Chains A and B, each alone.
Chain A
Amino acid sequence: MATTNVLYAGFGGQGILFSGKFLAYQGLLAGKHVSWLPSYGPEMRGGTANCSVIISDEEVGSPIVSKPDVLIVMNLPSLDKYENDVVPGGKIFIDSTLIDKKVERTDVDVFYVPATGMAAERKIPTLANMIITGKMLKEIGASLDNIDAVLGKIVSARHQDLLEVNKDAIKLGYNLEE
């Protein structure tokens, strides 16, 4: 695919913007054109947060993703809001610990990932976002080759200790069996 339009959505505090940034940097380091656009304002502090990421072989036009090829949702309001925007043939990734609703559409691929539960079990409760991101990378056919470099760019120098746990969380999702 020449252009992949990704929409991440959930609550503020779930790391929605961070995982979007991870994805954008992965595209950048792979030599692609990328853009990242967050929702901003009060919703960053606890309301519904979302973030548009575009990864393309061509220059990115509008940075706003209104018809996602890939939708990652980490709360029910976001699923209700964006489910019908996904293009036919697109992929929806659902944190099934937090959302027990099933997608009714049959023209999209849906992946139910109990990311928040898995994260809690492994005592990494803040990394559900990276687990579901790992699963998404697997399903869109991305490789994990450059994740050390990518995490090196987005994990701040003070928190280098978090690099390994982020990596583990991504791999956990990537290697998850259906």
Chain B
Amino acid sequence: MGDKVLMKGNEAIAEAAIKAGCRHYFGYPITPQTEVAAYMSKRMPKIGGTFLQAESEIAAINMVIGVASAGYRVMTSSSSPGISLKQEGISYLAGCDLPALVVNVERGGPGLGGIQPSQSDYWQATKAGGHGDYHNLVLAPASVQEMASLTIKGFELADKYGMVAMILADGTMGQMMEPVEIDDIEIKTVEKPWALTGTGMKREHNIVNSLYLKPELLEQKNFERYEKYAKIERDEAMFEEYLMDDAEICLVAFGITSRVAKNAINEARAKGVKVGMIRPITLWPFPKKAFEARADQCKAFVSVEMSMGQMIEDVKLAIECKKPVYLCNRVGGMIPTPEDILSKIDEVGGAK
């Protein structure tokens, strides 16, 4: 095992991407994500890779489309307003079935919003922020180690399924430092016979395209894509459970709020309150099975979010509204405190 080093979450994403074989990065600076680009600008030239600060986020995502078409691992990163700008390109990547990694280190919105952490791009990330029927794989790290490991996982899943994988983090996860170990993570690669690598006069042309003027054919393409999504929903959902064995109240939280929720759970447990947590690691596919299993056991669910209540809808669907689901939230760059969560636990009947 290698030495653990302290890294910022943003730096861990960049280093993990390089470890995963990504040699092409296109981006544009924006707080609180800028360290990803800064790290890439230092490292890429030294390892024969490309770091390019594009003239805009829109240019950057289109450069991603180009490299993805050629079959190379490629990424871009930004924060909320910049991710909105990239949505057209993300829809094109989906329409072309191209793999790429997009990182969103979220800040408060809408509009220019603020620069403090937020989770209010959940809908944009999980319900597809651009036009057309499509999904992104959405991974939500809750530690700097996961910023690294899920970046690598993201590249693998993107390649495996030919689609965009998005790391949905927030300003806190991007800026905090924790011990991280990257060298020991195993890297898997995927063959890409569809890539535009030049025929060498030895094969037919490969075509990467999202334009289908015949509706019968476009319908068929959409059907095929949704068969792939169904398989992903079956096979790729990831979650972590925390003290759920005897839990009567189930908190649901991802990213930074799951860390705060753990503190609240530990304090509540010390007072004898039976509370636990399901932490979705993939936000799409949403880990529905984890919820099905707990819907009968728990008397209430509490969705802890840094948004006005976005994930809460997926929680209600996952438990088929069998139990009440409450919201505990702060927005605009504010982070819920353990006390905020504890008082919500009391309020929903967790007091002993």
Contacts and interface: CB of A to CB of B under 8 A. Distances in A.
A93 B111 CA distance: 41
A62 B263 contact: yes
Interface stretch (B19-27, B59-67, B169-177): B169-177
Interface in A39-84: 40-41, 60-64, 66
A62 B259 contact: yes
Given A40-B31, A60-B178, A66-B337, A25 B259 contact: no
A77 B263 CA distance: 28
Given A28-B6, A64-B335, A41 B178 contact: no
Nearest to A66: B337
B262 A61 contact: yes
Interface of B: 4-6, 31-32, 115-116, 171-172, 175-179, 256, 259-260, 262-263, 266, 335, 337-338
B32 A41 contact: yes
Interface stretch (A30-38, A106-114, A131-139): A30-38
Nearest to A154: B6
B172 to A, nearest CB: 7
B52 to A, nearest CB: 25
Interface residues of A, number: 19
16 contacts: A24-B6, A25-B6, A28-B6, A33-B179, A36-B178, A37-B172, A38-B175, A40-B175, A41-B31, A60-B259, A61-B260, A62-B260, A63-B178, A63-B256, A63-B259, A64-B337
Interface of A: 21, 24-25, 28, 33-38, 40-41, 60-64, 66, 153
A41 B115 contact: yes
Given A37-B176, A62-B263, A62-B338, 17 more contacts: A21-B177, A34-B179, A35-B176, A36-B178, A37-B175, A38-B176, A40-B171, A41-B32, A60-B178, A61-B259, A62-B262, A63-B176, A63-B178, A63-B259, A64-B172, A64-B260, A64-B337
A29 to B, nearest CB: 9
A151 B115 CA distance: 31
Contacts of A35: 176-178
- Please name the 9 residue pairs, one residue from A and one from B, whose CB atoms are nearest each other, closest first: A36-B177, A61-B262, A61-B263, A62-B260, A37-B176, A62-B259, A41-B115, A62-B263, A40-B175
A33 B262 CA distance: 15
Contacts of B116: 41
A34 B177 CA distance: 9
Contacts of B337: 64, 66
Contact of B178 (A34, A38, A61, A64): A34
Contact of A61 (B5, B171, B266): B266
Contacts of A37: 172, 175-177
B285 to A, nearest CB: 27
A72 B345 CA distance: 33
B172 A63 contact: yes
A6 to B, nearest CB: 14
Contact of B176 (A28, A36, A66, A153): A36
Contacts of B177: 21, 24, 35-37
Interface centre among A21, A33, A36, A63 (most CB of B within 10 A): A63
B207 to A, nearest CB: 45
Contacts of A61: 259-260, 262-263, 266
A139 B143 CA distance: 30
Contacts of B31: 40-41
A176 B338 CA distance: 37
Contacts of B5: 153
A77 B177 CA distance: 26
Contacts of B176: 35-38, 63
A38 B117 CA distance: 12
Contacts of B115: 40-41
B259 A34 contact: no
A34 B179 CA distance: 7
B257 to A, nearest CB: 9
B42 to A, nearest CB: 12
A38 B115 CA distance: 13
Interface centre among A28, A61, A62, A153 (most CB of B within 10 A): A62
